Amino acid sequence: MIEGQSLHYQYPDGKSIQFPDFSFQQGSQWLILGPSGSGKTTLLQLLAGLRKPSKGSLSMNGKRIDNYSAAELDKHRGAEIGIVFQKGQFVNSLSVGDNLLLAQYLGGKKQDVKLCKAMITSLGLEDKWGKKLSTLSQGERQRISLARALVKNPKVILADEPSSALDDENTKKVVELIKAQATEVGATLIIVTHDQRLKDNFQHKIELS
Ligand code: ADP
Ligand code: MG
């Protein structure tokens, strides 16, 4: 269970962003919609423990993560949370395969070549295993970013605009894969996006304004 109450975030020099209260059951799947600038990425970063709320409480499985130290947050994030970033955040000098294995290592998980290969195969990118990240298109990088989040078998999957660089066909593929994978491992899935194409794929939705 992930719960947010009276959450606010204030950037230095920025206005305070206020978020609606939420309560996500373990294993549930949520779409958080909102136009550009509505705070989607900020909310995801709060959930990931990459930022701390200025006000309000944020808890995961009964633990107040807004009270965690930076070291506790790093550990929590590495072990429990798979993040699909909007812009890659890869080690560009490493191959696709090594980026996936590195994610497992940093998350304190067993390095599992078979699982990593199966993941990119299900995303239609099996021929990219040994390729450098710098040789991939933006859409391919986005799918590898998804694979990297999933190979950790996280309890929570957070995705920032996972379909923004994808055509309709690949959007459908990626959303189906991410939902199926979340279901398989019982992970809570939270996608933030402005992409209205995703609306019909989710029962649970929150709108930011
Ligand atoms: P979204 O992802 O929905 O487009 P963001 O969470 O990125 O929205 O941004 C929400 C608001 O916070 C916007 O008004 C944006 O300009 C502001 N903001 C985002 N990042 C920063 C930052 N690093 N410093 C100051 N203001 C920021
Ligand atoms: Mg954003």
Residue 38 alpha carbon, nearest atom of ligand 1: 3
Structure-block tokens of residue 194 = 């402005």
Which region, left, alpha or beta, applies to residue 45 given φ > 0 means left and ψ of -120 to 50 means alpha? alpha
Q: Which residue segment(s) compose the domain that 45 sits in?
A: 2-207
**Residue for token pair 């990119």:** 120
The tally of domains found in the chain comes to: 1
Q: 37 CA to middle of ligand 1, Å?
A: 6
Q: Which ligand is nearest to the CA of 207?
A: 1
| Rounded distance between C-alpha atoms, residue 176 and residue 186, angstroms | 15
Give distance in angstroms: CA of 15 to centre of ligand 1.
10
Say how far apart CA 188 and CA 54 lie, in whole Å. Answer: 24
What are the tokens at 49?
Answer: 């423990």
Kindly state if the Cβ of 29 falls inside 6 Å of ligand 1.
no
Which CATH number characterizes residue 12's domain?
3.40.50.300
pLDDT tens for each residue of 141-176: 888 988 999 898 899 999 999 888 788 888 888 888
- Record the pTM: 0.89
Token pair for 32: 């958080």
**Residue given tokens 């059951």 in the structure block:** 25
Convert the pLDDT of each residue in 76-124 to its tens digit. 898 899 998 877 678 888 999 999 999 999 888 999 999 999 999 988 8
CA distance 66 to 69: 8
Contact 34, 209 (CB under 8 A): yes
Work out whether strand 204-207 and strand 188-193 pair parallel, antiparallel, or are unpaired.
unpaired
Measured from the CB, is residue 14 less than 6 Å from ligand 1? yes
Write down the pLDDT at residue 88: 66
Q: Is 41 in the pocket of ligand 1 (CB under 6 A)?
A: yes
